[in-house]
Structure 1
């Protein structure tokens, strides 16, 4: 196929008639990159779990775990930059003089990725003028370890990777009064965000607990997808 034929194929299959389609772009490579409708995050399920199957019930050890406390869950976290933040003990609500044998120790386990939109096959005219929808989705385990066990921060960044053009954050509260152990969905759609977006920074934090054993909050199905459509807000 000629360059113009590849360009026409992209325009037709992606439904982008009337959108700027620069001749300077390698449309064969753009087509093969499949920039639309696929997950742009690497390794979206490091624990090897699926949202279509209930999360495994936590294993309660028969005896206290010996040795130093553990703060990172098991998994293959390749593709993610990770960080652990150990939180101070919470002694609020404990009457003075009460002997404490053990307190739960909490930590945040953070994972983040940055998506290069141009490297994934998108082009400047599309991002600046058409501004396709950017769809964020994530699933986290309702571990009920604490009232706050999950946080999500997503930023649309400019070419310098520091200027924030749009962002979305969520810190959902948990109902721990009744036991429920399922996957909970978090999602957001960016549209009408303005010109200049070149990168997407995806970061989520999950809370873990150590008390006689290690109890993590797991996640699965993290995704960042670009869709070749826009809303009236554009």
Structure 2
């Protein structure tokens, strides 16, 4: 099934709304308005029980009254309440409840196979040094107890990547250019206690030609031998990145620093790329 584009769900359609009533002349417009006049509270309840894309794409084009309700803050705030979408920080009220609703509804991890549960599937191997990448069970429990597997690097540099096509994931170009929603990056990594290792990550926002618009590439993280082998989280949020973002390239990896045969390098799991409401990351 083809994924519905985010821009189509959110389009205001104000010009189309005016054209529907004006095309047949003033008298037709007046009779149409009279025909569809319903108490606002009843109309809002009807809209709350319809699929959200239908409210935006169809209902708001019927007449001015329907458009007013379909665009109202109260409708989308109530829809968020009923479906359990609320700001993570209760003190930060969304400026646009409709945008907040649709971003929450579509929010998900855009990376495939982020924990190695399917081996190396969905990942492009850029470097496969030493004894190559493998996926295995976690050595120490992860803070998220549902995470049971991780990727493991070897004694030569191991790097892998995924390319996310935003339009294919339902975020069309006009939506990305106009709203520029937050893009949150998260990655978990841990060393072995008995071997030194290093970890690196690079995430790029790319244009249609796959040329970088913005990049997150922090310094390499090093671990000494005989460490506490605890899990660490790398996070970053892209904001106000400008128009033109069409792809996201996610790259990470590392190796051990003592050149031991086998898999003593950095462990990586539960990687995540999300499109989020502004300030709700």
The TM-score bracket by the shorter chain reads 0.5 to 0.7
Which residue number in structure 1 is paired with residue 249 of structure 2?
Answer: 201
- Following superposition, the deviation at residue 187 of structure 1 comes to 0.7
Higher RCO by CA contacts (8 Å cutoff, separation 6 or greater): 1
1:139 aligns with 2:188: yes
Higher alpha-carbon Rg: 2
Pair 1:40 & 2:83 matched? no
Tell me: CA distance 1:157–1:212, structure 2 relative to 1, closer, same or farther (3 Å). Answer: closer
Alignment of 1:6-25 (within 5 A): 6-7=56-57, 12=76, 13=80, 17=96
Deviation at 1:172, TM superposition (A): 3.8
Cross-structure match for 1:224: 273
In 2, Cα distance between equivalents of 1:35 and 1:199: 21
Alpha-carbon distance in structure 1 between the residues aligned to 2:54 and 2:261: 65
**Cα separation, 1, equivalents of 2:109 and 2:235:** 14
Deviation at 1:173, TM superposition (A): 3.2
More strand by share: 1
- Please give the alpha-carbon distance, in whole angstroms, between the structure 2 residues aligned to 1:204 and 1:5: 41
Give SS of 1:149's match. Answer: strand
CA distance in 1, matches of 2:225, 2:263: 22
Is 1:82 matched up with 2:130? no
Structure 1, unmatched stretches of 5+, are 21-30, 49-74, 88-104
RMSD in angstroms over aligned alpha carbons?
3.4
More helix by percentage: 2
Query: What is the CA–CA distance in structure 2 between the aligned matches of 1:118 and 1:16, rounded to whole Å?
Result: 25
The number of residue pairs the alignment matches comes to 174
> CA offsets, 1:140-195, max 9 Å, x none?
1123633x51110000001111x211110023433426521111111100001111
Aligned to 1:56: none
Which blocks of at least 5 consecutive residues in structure 2 are unaligned?
1-49, 61-69, 86-93, 131-153
Partner in structure 2 of residue 54 of structure 1: none
Q: What's the CA shift string for 1:92-137, capped at 9, x where partnerless? A: xxxxxxxxxxxxx831111100111111111223211211000000
Q: Mark the CA change 1:129 to 1:81 in structure 2 (over 3 Å): closer, same or farther.
A: same
Aligned to 1:180: 228
Q: Distance in 2 between matches of 1:116 and 1:83?
A: 19
- Secondary structure at 1:215's aligned position in 2? coil
TM-score (norm 1): 0.62
- Which residue number corresponds to residue 112 of structure 1? 161
The aligned counterpart of 2:260 is: 211
Q: Does 1:125 align with 2:174?
A: yes
